[in-house]
Copies of this chain bind each other. A is one copy, B any other.
């Protein structure tokens, strides 16, 4: 019954089986679900072909000191992204070789250059990031895997996993010697929604909405819907609107509130009453829909499908697959040219590229962007070794000891990293091709996380496996000119995968969603 810090007792097979049934039933009842690949409609039609999200049955252990370290880093990385994003030449220079070998980066840089050429300033800058870490058992240190600045996924579902694990521990904790207090709270989706709502307020244009850019087919749609739900709850005038609906005779109060908060003239009030509430909050569009329905007014206002857009929130556009034709690129440019707040802007997007991560890890580069020595030292402490392939000594060493390195291509989305002996083969091939080919990749120190046994549940089936975990800390940053309005950590994503699998994506089918169980420092 009491809390122990050692390994918990292993529950017997029947109990594990029962817990897995309780857990997957809980998922179905509480929206911890995804679209099932087996159902062709599950990515386009809400409410059909649902299956519980792949989950770990119990949270994974991490020392509280590493947890605190990762949380402390979030606001520093938020600030760093903002600083780097303002140095357009640094981004262009650092990525100049990458553009030779990667069309996607090249197109992003083209848009970025256009913005630089027109001296376009982004006064309101919103970042919803996630910095991913693994605990390296060789050095017993927390090392950054990557910093994601666009379309970070699972803020909705990860909060639910935390709730699920606390529920299971409350039910079975006495059997397992676990204590639900040790699972840290996770409000990622609510905090992201609040940041989006706050950015709308800063944008301060009557009845302008948040537009979420989505893929035409999205099996992770419920993760996004949770954000939409909390976005609705974040709008202060919504409470008043509900009040109006629930109690008669409050019309005057309602209108007055709108005038003070968001509306400046009677025309707008009329518009508010005509729109559905849903319209007021959030519209979901694909890039090709934006191309077909969008325009930028002479004053810079982005209008899509007749609605003014305050914030463009990208949950698509991070991979070349999202741009099958020129239409999608044209939409991306249109949005970038508008006055709408982009989350992320093209600059923020580029800061998240692996090449920039590697540049920032070079000596004396962080010092160009940050003043606080303590913060710089904190950042550097979590940097793994990162090198470009023009560093011949390192390439030589990687060919000799390929197991100590990971070869990473310059694009987003898992599944493309190269491990083990393939590193050697690839490096030899790339050296032979020479020149630009080398710029398509960076080398990274391979991290060796400690493996531990966990029960993974996928498709209603529970199995025990040797696993490793990756911790992502969400961060939100909002500033308007000189004023930093939000700079916070926003909950966490724990992903656990079979240790024999090298890739980390939950959506890609390799990992499961997990939460944290904090142990003593």
Contacts and interface: CB of A to CB of B under 8 A. Distances in A.
A51 B52 contact: no
Interface string A446-460: 000000000000011
Contact of A15 (B27, B171, B276): B276
Interface string A1-44: 10000000000000100100111110111110100100001000
Interface stretch (A173-181, A194-202, A359-367, A502-510): A173-181
B222 A25 contact: yes
Q: Which 8 A-B pairs have the closest CB atoms?
A: A24-B47, A47-B52, A29-B31, A25-B46, A50-B50, A45-B460, A48-B460, A24-B46
A277 interface: yes
A118 interface: no
Contacts of A15: 276
State the copy count for this chain: 2
Contacts of A119: none
Contacts of A172: 276-278
Interface in A272-306: 273, 276-278
A30 B181 CA distance: 25
A397 B176 CA distance: 70
B24 A278 contact: no
22 contacts: A22-B46, A23-B47, A24-B45, A24-B48, A28-B31, A28-B47, A28-B50, A29-B31, A36-B49, A46-B460, A47-B52, A47-B460, A48-B51, A48-B52, A48-B460, A49-B51, A50-B51, A50-B52, A171-B277, A172-B277, A174-B276, A180-B246
A93 interface: no
Contact of A179 (B48, B171, B245): B245
A133 interface: no
A221 interface: yes
Interface of A: 1, 15, 18, 21-25, 27-31, 33, 36, 41, 45-52, 169-175, 179-181, 221-222, 225-226, 229, 242, 245-246, 251, 273, 276-278, 459-460
Nearest to A175: B276
A50 B25 contact: no
Given A49-B51, A173-B245, A179-B245, 17 more contacts: A1-B251, A24-B46, A24-B48, A27-B47, A28-B46, A28-B47, A28-B50, A29-B226, A31-B31, A33-B50, A36-B49, A50-B52, A170-B277, A171-B277, A171-B278, A172-B277, A174-B276
B273 A174 contact: yes
A41 B29 CA distance: 17
Contacts of A277: 170-172, 174
A21 B22 CA distance: 28
A451 to B, nearest CB: 26
A188 B491 CA distance: 35
A450 to B, nearest CB: 28
B41 A460 contact: yes
Contact of A181 (B28, B49, B181, B246): B246
Of the listed residues A1, A41, A169, A180, the one surrounded by the most CB atoms of chain B closer than 10 A to its CB is: A1
Contacts of A229: 29
A48 B42 CA distance: 13
Contacts of A225: 25, 28-29
A109 to B, nearest CB: 37
A28 B229 CA distance: 13
Contacts of A52: 46-48, 50
A170 B245 contact: yes
Contacts of A18: 278
A381 to B, nearest CB: 34
